[in-house]
Amino acid sequence: MTDQTIDTAASGEAAPSGEAGGPAAAGRLTVPLPRPRDLATVDDARAAIDGIDAALATLLEHRAAVAGVVQRLKPVGGFAGRDPDRERRIVAAMAEHAPSLGPERLARIMNAVIEAGLEAAAAAAAGSDDRAGR
């Protein structure tokens, strides 16, 4: 099993809880990444997915917070301020790290992530606690 450590110290935000991989060092999230070939049972594979999903949720929360800062700083924020060229560059960079997903699948995933982040930023700007996205 390998671990992936994500350094969030540069953000100045509070460190993630570390639930995905045990207690987190300040500004770091360590996620166990078992090799798929080492997962022998459905329970093992599901436990690995649960850990990855917990880390992914932490990263998505952090991404949404940082994207909210971008929305406040841009001259035109929200959906009207979307930058398709920037979004294509994000997807291309991600495709280098996730070649099995490829650019088309990653574009769909990132579109959903970006839209959810924009909705969360709009709710925060409006002063509502819209965690359910309603």
Q: What is the pLDDT of residues 55-70, one digit of tens each?
A: 999 999 999 999 999 9
**Backbone conformation region of residue 83, classed left if phi is above 0, alpha if psi is from -120 to 50, else beta:** beta
The structure's pTM equals 0.75
Q: What is the pLDDT of residues 36-95, one digit of tens each?
A: 999 999 999 999 999 999 999 999 999 999 999 999 899 988 888 999 999 999 999 999
Is the distance from CB of 5 to CB of 29 less than 8 angstroms? yes
What are the residue ranges spanned by the domains of the chain?
1-73, 76-134
Q: What is the pLDDT of residues 13-41, one digit of tens each?
A: 444 444 444 444 567 888 889 999 999 99
Q: Tokens for 65? A: 């917070």
